[in-house]
Amino acid sequence: MHRPDLPVHGPMDEFLAGVRAEVPLLLGVVPFGLIYGVLGLAAGLPGWAVVLMSSVVFGGSSQVVFAQLWGAAVPPAVITATVGVVNARHALYSASVAPFLRQLSWRWKILLAYLLTDEAYAMAIVRMRDGAPSAHRHFFLLGTGLTLWTGWQLSSLGGVLIGAAIPASWSLDFSIPLTFIALLVMAARGRSEVIAALVAAAAALALQGMPHKLWIIAAAAAGMAAGWIARGLNRRTP
Question: What pLDDT, on the 0 to 100 scale, is given for residue 51?
Answer: 94
Q: How would you label 47-58 residue by residue, b for 16+ Cβ within 10 Å and e otherwise? A: beebbebbeeeb
Confidence of residue 143 (pLDDT cuts 50, 70, 90): very high
Is the pLDDT at 111 greater than 80? The verdict is yes
Q: Are residues 162 and 210 in the same domain?
A: no
Question: What pLDDT, on the 0 to 100 scale, is given for residue 166?
Answer: 66
How big is the chain, counted in residues?
238
Q: Are residues 201 and 84 in the same domain?
A: no
Q: Are residues 54 and 143 in the same domain?
A: yes
Q: Are residues 34 and 130 in the same domain?
A: yes
Q: Are residues 152 and 203 in the same domain?
A: no
Is the pLDDT at 108 greater than 90? The verdict is yes
What span, in angstroms and rounded, lies between the C-alpha atoms of 228 and 190? 12
Q: Does residue 89 form part of some domain?
A: yes
Q: Are residues 37 and 131 in the same domain?
A: yes
Most confident segment among 194-203, 211-220, 222-231: 194-203
Q: Are residues 42 and 143 in the same domain?
A: yes
Confidence of residue 135 (pLDDT cuts 50, 70, 90): confident
Confidence of residue 50 (pLDDT cuts 50, 70, 90): very high
Q: Are residues 200 and 161 in the same domain?
A: no
Q: In total, how many domains does the chain have?
A: 2
> Which of these, 63, 44, 141, lies nearest to 98 by C-alpha position?
141
Confidence of residue 1 (pLDDT cuts 50, 70, 90): very low
Q: Are residues 149 and 199 in the same domain?
A: no
Q: Does residue 4 form part of some domain?
A: no
Q: Are residues 33 and 138 in the same domain?
A: yes
Q: Give CA separation, 227 vs 65, 122, 221, in Å.
A: 21, 19, 10
Q: Are residues 140 and 216 in the same domain?
A: no
Q: Does residue 227 form part of some domain?
A: yes
Q: Does residue 69 form part of some domain?
A: yes
Q: Which domain holds residue 125?
A: 11-169
- pLDDT, mean of residues 147-158: 94
Q: Are residues 98 and 203 in the same domain?
A: no
Question: What pLDDT, on the 0 to 100 scale, is given for residue 2?
Answer: 46
Please indicate whether residue 157 or residue 83 has the higher confidence score (pLDDT).
Answer: 157
